[in-house]
Amino acid sequence: ETGVTQTPRHLVMGMTNKKSLKCEQHLGHNAMYWYKQSAKKPLELMFVYSLEERVENNSVPSRFSPECPNSSHLFLHLHTLQPEDSALYLCASSQDHSGRARQYFGPGTRLTVT
């Protein structure tokens, strides 16, 4: 349960605010992911980092800006968000980004944009 942690767990922000989500993994993995989970929709992959390098950007608006300073930490910087960006943001990690490695999720940050 503590392999992948995320902070904050809940965040309410106005459309003009700037905030950051943080993820940390203690599993020694080399790949980290940001997913968006909205009601009635499949999990949407946003970004993939492998060995601190971004390997995938899934057509995500520029108001979401990821950062991976090292293989254990991942951030998602948020600015000028829209109400439709309200969702659960999940971080995950895996041994590699082959698509065949088990992914382990953090508890998520519940984001509400007002």
Q: Residues 38-77: x/- map of binding to another protein (CB under 8 A)?
A: --xxxx-x--x------xx---------------------
Q: Give the span between the Cα atoms of 74 and 20, in whole angstroms.
A: 10
Sheet of strand 73-79, all strands in order from the earlier edge strand to the far edge: 4-7, 18-25, 73-79, 64-70
Query: 10-13 and 4-7 as β-strands: parallel, antiparallel, unpaired?
Result: unpaired
The residue (of 85 and 108) whose beta carbon lies closer to another protein is 108
97 binds another protein (CB under 8 A): yes
Name the site residues for another protein (rule: CB under 8 A): 4, 40-43, 45, 48, 55-56, 90, 96-100, 102-108
